[in-house]
Structure 1
Amino acid sequence: MKRKLLAAALTSVFVATTLFAGCGAKNSAETSGAKQKDTAQTEKKKAKTLVFAQGTDPRGLDPAYVDDGESAKIIANVYDGLLRYKKDSTELEPSLATEWKVSDDGKVYTFKLREGVKFHDGTDFNAEAVKVSIERQLPPKRTNDMPYASFTFGEVEKVEVVNDYSVKITLKEPYTPFLANLAMVLAAPIVSPTALEKYDGKLMENPVGTGPFKFVKWDKGQSIVLEKNEDYWDEEKAKVDKAIFQFTKENSVRATQLMTGAVDIIDGVDPNDVAQIEKSGATIYKRPGMNINYMAFNCERAPFNDAKLREAISYAINREELVKFLYQGYSSIANSQMPSFIPGFNDKVKPYEYNPEKAKTMLKELGKEKLEIKMIIYSNPRPYNTVGQKLAEAIQGYLLKVGIKSTIEPYTWTEYKEKAKQGEGDIMFYGWTGDNGDPDNFLSLLDSKEIESSLNAAKYSNKKVDELLSKARRTPNGEERNKLYKDIQDILAKDAPWLPISSAEVMAGHSAKVKGFGYHPTGVVYLKYVDKE
């Protein structure tokens, strides 16, 4: 009996112990699960999303097929080039190329490439990828819808793979801007050869680079989403986990979104909204802009294939009043085709000054006093023209005062680029943000060979200008080269293919939570430097 009682007691102890152990294990598991859940939630809370609101969609996301700032902003964050500009200047530094040397005759460039880098799709970056990226923009593969190809690689004769991590580029003749061009956001970035094959040679909606952010998706008319590239090769990686480019056409709506906290950063700030944005506690960012805002005549056909008529119209427009009224001190009058701080700027030239009576006299002499014309313009703001269509409406008023009737046809930015390329409109409005700080980058917009690429929006052709541009590109940096560019500006001031209007301060608005935001002189924002509290 005692043995039975002892056995029963031991059994009770065992069962109780097992039950308690079971409860303990259960509690431990629950505690562990709770901790994991809390950790996951904490990590989720730590994830940072930066929302950048701009006026419109990009034209596309393949650097070989676009030439606009909206596209460049996103491309700058997805791709890398062989070289890059330093954070706050157009001074060059290594990127996908770690070093380079130039032959004594200035025609052969040899680049040593960075090893161990992968494209976002897992493809290895190597010399073959560089060769593919450049050669698709050279004849016979180059197509007319590659606007920067001839500008960037026009002097390239051949690209050779020396070994997996060394590539040699041979030029037809010395070309001084070549290295600076290789750091540009358009045409120059290196794309994944695997992606090119997968998407039939165009990455307009499927960008694959080696940059600090990876492309996630594009909802047309709404937004583009990028995510941090955790495997980025550079020591300085992106500080936010996700970057969203949101498309909001109206300036006032973007300003409201910023003030209510719906977005973190806006560009294309209307001068009329500055005081209200600052009052809300948000910050207005400003810096001198490397840009030009201009009115272009269609010089290829009547009526503006006549330089005297272009001169007469130039007399009709009060640029000083226009700039003061529209831009309220955030832009300065432009007297040349490039900003005053670019090497080779000619401070002796000016467009034809405002003189409406002279404009009327010339129009009568030319038999054009009852001229009727069509103007086209983009409907959204641009970095160089934050008021968009209002610019064309102001010009329309000046023209009417001298007897010229004009119609205005506004288009969204993407539509506008196509219409301008097709030659629609007698007068169009355009602008340019410098890509590399070189004078050739601005004055090449008047090179006749760039009519086909559409960079020469005025479709202007002058053999002397073409000759001087060609000579300047072969001339080393210095006073001799600067003199050639000054001579070009003398010719352009008389020929008036453009009416230069203004150079804008680059402005953006951002939340007080945003840290490290700034525009690069080339007009793009490298978001890897930007953080959010």
Structure 2
Amino acid sequence: MITRRNLNKSLLGASALALGTLPSIGMAQDRPAIRIAVDNLWRTMSPLNGLSTTGNRININFYEALTEVDWLNDPTGATVIPKLATSWERDGVVWRITLREGVMFHHGVEMTAEDVAFTLSHERLRADDAYESRGAIFSSNMVRVDAVERYVVEIETDSPDPNMPQKLSNHHAKVVPKDHYLEVGVDAFGQMPIGTGPYKVTLFRPGEVMTIDAFEDYWGSQPGAADLLP
């Protein structure tokens, strides 16, 4: 179900995959709605444990990464634009990432550098008992990630890495709320995920249905797509 709010174009592409009784994802509040069938709804929607073709097309509507590669205007992938990070600079092996202020998670808590540092942490991605070890492939060269100010994160790498801005657009950099994630655990988090995106998950039954509603406190422009409806 989709309201008069635009869903991500990648999800629209996924909608063409299937019809009928297949799992569906939708967006609904007190507005007209459209139901979209997809080829599968994975058992979890945590950012990394839930990696799948359809999952990736869906979760970019409720998770956001630190940066975004501007494929639309630069097909080479060389242009990186701000997302949850507003600026970045490198001094040798240390990147200093400045975050957007006033970004709210779907459960009403502001995103800070502590959330970002945890999202990229050894504990979450690279430890032997990491919560989402599939993220190790994206962050193997990170040796330190620290919240140095409320809206500033430092990332130290094992050697100079000029490609860090591009890397911070990837799955491992989809920011999660640290305290809530640790409180409920990754399995429960994957059943009712919380991010900072323009839509929030309000219902998820793996293999059956997901409903996502427009997030009224979204930091960016409110999505709108009246042209999708008759």
TM-score (norm 1): 0.35
Q: 1:175 pairs with 151, 161, 170, which one? A: 161
**Counterpart residue number, 1:209:** 195
CA RMSD of aligned residues (A): 2.2
**Counterpart residue number, 1:146:** 133
Listed one character per residue, the Cα deviations across residues 420-471 of structure 1 (whole Å, up to 9, x for unaligned) are: xxxxxxxxxxxxxxxxxxxxxxxxxxxxxxxxxxxxxxxxxxxxxxxxxxxx
Amino acid at match of 2:194: V
**Counterpart residue number, 1:222:** 208
**Counterpart residue number, 1:470:** none
**Counterpart residue number, 1:188:** 173
**RCO (CA 8 Å, sep 6+): is it higher in 1 or 2?**
2
Conserved? CA contact 1:152–1:178, under 8 Å? no
CA shift, 1:139, in A, is 2.6
- Spell out the pairing of 1:354-503 with structure 2 (5 A cutoff): none
Q: 1:114 pairs with 82, 89, 100, which one? A: 100
Gaps of 5+ in 2: 1-28
**Counterpart residue number, 1:94:** 82
Q: 1:69 to 1:177 in 2, by over 3 A?
A: farther
CA shift, 1:117, in A, is 1.1
SS of corresponding position for 1:150: helix
* Residue 81 of structure 1 pairs with residue 71 of structure 2: no
CA shift, 1:219, in A, is 2.5
**Counterpart residue number, 1:200:** 185
Q: Percent identity?
A: 23
Listed one character per residue, the Cα deviations across residues 241-297 of structure 1 (whole Å, up to 9, x for unaligned) are: xxxxxxxxxxxxxxxxxxxxxxxxxxxxxxxxxxxxxxxxxxxxxxxxxxxxxxxxx
CA shift, 1:85, in A, is 2.8
CA shift, 1:157, in A, is 0.3
Amino acid at match of 1:100: W
Distance of 1:177 and 1:69 partners within structure 2: 25
Judging by fraction of residues, say which structure has more helix.
1
CA shift, 1:74, in A, is 1.9
Amino acid at match of 2:81: E
Q: 1:221 to 1:201 in 2, by over 3 A?
A: closer
CA shift, 1:141, in A, is 4.8
Listed one character per residue, the Cα deviations across residues 159-211 of structure 1 (whole Å, up to 9, x for unaligned) are: 11111011100001133443212112x22200112320231244211110000
Conserved? CA contact 1:99–1:112, under 8 Å? yes
Conserved? CA contact 1:79–1:208, under 8 Å? yes
Distance of 1:220 and 1:138 partners within structure 2: 27
Distance of 1:219 and 1:67 partners within structure 2: 17
Distance of 2:43 and 2:137 partners within structure 1: 19
Equivalenced residues, count: 195
**Counterpart residue number, 1:62:** 46
Q: 1:126 to 1:224 in 2, by over 3 A?
A: same
Amino acid at match of 2:48: A
Distance of 1:87 and 1:215 partners within structure 2: 27
Distance of 1:62 and 1:85 partners within structure 2: 22
CA shift, 1:48, in A, is 3.5
Amino acid at match of 2:89: K
Conserved? CA contact 1:123–1:194, under 8 Å? no
Amino acid at match of 1:60: T
Conserved? CA contact 1:65–1:187, under 8 Å? no
Distance of 1:220 and 1:76 partners within structure 2: 17
